[in-house]
Amino acid sequence: MSSTDDRERRIHVRKGFYGLIEGVVLGSTFFATIQDLSLAGVSFEVDYPFRPGLNLHLTFRVFDDQEPIEVKAEVVWVQPSHMLFSRVGARFTELGPKAKTIINAYVASLKPEPEKGDSGPTKYPLIFSPFKISNVTLKNRLTMAPMFWGYANEDGTVSQRLIDCYREIALGGVGMIVVANAVIDTSGIMASRVLRIDQDRFIPGLTELAKSIKSSGAVACLQINHAGRWAKVEKPLAPSPATMDISAEMSGLDGIHEDLSGRHRMRLVNQYLLALMRCRQGMTLEEIESIKEAYGKAALRARKAGFDMVELHGATGYLLVQFLSARSNKRSDSYGGSLENRMRFPLEVVETVKGFVGNDFPVGYRFMADECLANGFDIEEAKVFAQNLERTGIAYVSVTAGTYESFFLPEIINRCRKEGYIADLARQTKEAVSMTPIIAAGRITRPAIAERILSNNEADLVGLARTLFADPRWPDKVFEGREDEIIHCKCCNTCLLCVVKDEPVICARWDKFKRMELYVELQHKIETWEKILIAVDESEGSLAAVEYAGHMIGKGHKVTLFNVLTTEQGIEMAKNKMEGFLSQVKGHLVEMGVGERDIDIKVATKEKGVAEDILEEVKRGEYGSIILGKRGISWARQLLFGSVSSYIVQHAENCAIWVID
């Protein structure tokens, strides 16, 4: 092998490297994602308050087919990273011969080639074995767990984007897809662009969606839901009024980091406060009967639309689990108090749904095993509830944990980075029932983890959500023995923060054109895209922004190439030079399909500041969109002075913004 070929192979192996750390610092366990690795040390991304000088005990794998290695290290540097995390650099202080050998293999890209015939079905026999849920047979044990994306049309109907995304995942080889969060009643709408199934007019679109999934090789299941107290309506329905102990109710936001901009932190806090203020009365018995019937009618519509089964959303803090939890259910009638009473409403919903759809139509349940909150619904109560669900003839139980009140607690954010973190709760649930299939989800990113969960009898099926969102072809790649080509979810929480910001969900692992296409199609109306300002200088980030724009704009849009001169000498010469540069940029856009007459060039001199002057031009010219690139500046400078792009994002109003990184 030539040195060039060897170098390319190393780059390929290291680029595809995926590793998780389980570590101990100051007596506490943390989980992290490895970013880089050498014999000298390791860098990783983590949600934990590290500081230089801390001693670490680390355990991690380099390759799936090798035993975990243990090392000791010392934190050398800590750097704020994107979203909720920090990047940490540590040098090894104790590295045994075994660890050195394995890390050397990684550095030299000596990962052993798979043996001939070592494909998915032989390597992972349980994953690729068929499985029967009631009267429906899945071709394998892999399911797409429900994941809210915000891709429906604004009126709750099925969009073409939703159809295309689910079709892509179905074509990737998964056995069953659970389409997330179809709302059963207008009183239960919790977000923008959420699917609805509360009227017959939604059936045609859902029929197209079910048909697309099934024709692409997967079983189609529709999750139906009511948000309860978290609905964005004037008078939310809930088992009982929200407590006005604000400090206790708001404690779930303790994990929101400074890296989430002030605007979005306040939005999240306001959502919580508004939900509490609106939730001033409990549901009447008449409302309880009405909502049970709404669940039944919604399930019947799903059947008419051609779905193979439905799933009741009994997790994430929505209405069904609000009745189950003693934290949110303070009723004193037959629907509150004891666990037997708190179980009554969700069990009656199951019975009502089965009465509408018939016993030959499977009804599954998205199951809250633990709220992860003090005095909340926990696994011991959950096991009793699972036994009662089994008596109703539930088709399957899909185990999850955590609610909106607990998702942002620091210890929960940390735990969610652990691979297969729901598996133990799934195992305990499975031990409590004898006949009901159990689905385990929760950060199952590698096939080895999925196979282990199945072989240990912790669950009957595995649920992949963000894993398939990052790489829809994950099942086929595993089946064909192409694991090294998988695009792994890195647990960066970009998708979660999109939900916080009430924006269509994207994945940070997608290529830039897929992300831009989604923004243009879903996030903004066409009129906001028609008049565009592109902030241009000679930086690499700025030129990348122009490249982005050229691919996405096309004809029919008005574009202004705008520059703010920062020089204090030779203004005329600098202006002429910049206008010449922008003319070249204009020619590039024309070559990429933007109309020449639709492109203007504008050069201004700095007055208030680059970011402020760009915003002044946007306001003056009534632009609907801004496109700009990130400039490469040091962390220290960004910390002290901020960045142009950050300032514009925080201060622009009524305007779509694309920051190209």
Catalytic positions = 318
H or E, element range at 501: none
What gap in Å lies between CA 54 and CA 24, rounded to an integer? 10
Phi, psi of 240 (to 5 degrees): -155, 165
What gap in Å lies between CA 340 and CA 373, rounded to an integer? 21
Contact 606, 564 (CB under 8 A): yes
> Which residues is 144 bridged to in the sheet?
177, 464
> Between β-strands 461-464 and 55-60, what pairing exists: parallel, antiparallel or unpaired?
unpaired
What gap in Å lies between CA 349 and CA 334, rounded to an integer? 15
Task: Supply 391's token pair.
Answer: 């008596």
What gap in Å lies between CA 208 and CA 163, rounded to an integer? 8
Nearest C-alpha neighbor of 271 from the set 286, 291, 256: 256
Quickly list DSSP for 4-69.
HHHHHHHHHHHHT---EEEEEETTEEEEEEEEEE-SSEEEEEESS---TT-EEEEEE-SSTTS--E
Residue indicated by tokens 């290695």: 69
Contacts of 247 (CB under 8 A, 6+ apart): none
- Spell out where 445-598 has E strands: 461-464, 531-535, 558-565
What gap in Å lies between CA 266 and CA 249, rounded to an integer? 16
Phi, psi of 24 (to 5 degrees): -130, 130
> Between β-strands 136-138 and 131-133, what pairing exists: parallel, antiparallel or unpaired?
antiparallel
Helix axes 571-591, 540-552, angle to 10 degrees: 40
Could you tell me if residue 192 is left (phi over 0), alpha (psi between -120 and 50 degrees) or otherwise beta? beta
